[in-house]
Homo-oligomer: A and B are copies of this chain.
Amino acid sequence: MLVSTKGRYALRVMVDLAEHQATGRIPLKEIAARQAISEKYLENILATLVRANMLSGMRGKGGGYVLTRPPEQYTVGEILRLTEGSLAPVACLDGDCKGCSRSDECPTLDVWKNLDKLINDYLDGVTLDQLVAPNEGYDYVI
């Protein structure tokens, strides 16, 4: 499985926040309820996004989370790479373990490299605003 629940939830949450931008800061509790995700689990995910400055979190009464950029400036790729650690389709291409000893003679390496590029290019081409339902994220328009 290329993308686990952590990445899937993260993406859904980012879309949720994009759709409710106009409401200001949104508390975790609200997102968890709307998205049917365990509050405690969601904490981990949001913490990751905050640490990477994709979200700003504020504590205390009236606190909550808000996007740090406009939705069109987030790509699905960066959100998933952050939360998943890597989108490499095979271990051979994973950041830390740079190539196995057989990489010179490996007849399949190019397949993995092409696949990796395909995946990342596609996901980097989709931005958050493309996932926001039309006529949402503008609750203030009425």
B8 in contact with A92 (CB, 8 Å): yes
Add 5 more A-B contacts to A3-B89, A76-B111 (CB < 8 A). A1-B1, A1-B88, A2-B89, A2-B90, A3-B90
- How many angstroms between the C-alpha atoms of A125 and B5 in the bound complex? 29
* A12-42, CB < 8 A from B: 12, 15, 36
- How many angstroms between the C-alpha atoms of A13 and B96 in the bound complex? 26
A104 to chain B, nearest CB (A): 12
Residues of B within 8 A of A94 (CB): 1
A84 to chain B, nearest CB (A): 10
A135 to chain B, nearest CB (A): 13
- Asked whether any CB of chain B lies closer than 8 Å to the CB of A108, the reply is yes
In this complex, the interface size class of chain A, counting residues with CB under 8 Å from chain B, is 20 to 34
- Asked whether any CB of chain B lies closer than 8 Å to the CB of A11, the reply is yes
Q: A2-B2, A36-B102 are in contact. Are A111 and B90 (CB under 8 A)?
A: no
A1 in contact with B90 (CB, 8 Å): yes
Residues of A within 8 A of B (CB): 1-5, 8, 11-12, 15, 36, 76, 88-92, 94, 102, 106-108, 111-112, 114-115, 118-119, 122-123, 126, 131-133
Residues of B within 8 A of A123 (CB): 111, 115
B90 in contact with A107 (CB, 8 Å): no
A118 in contact with B107 (CB, 8 Å): no
Residues of B within 8 A of A5 (CB): 91
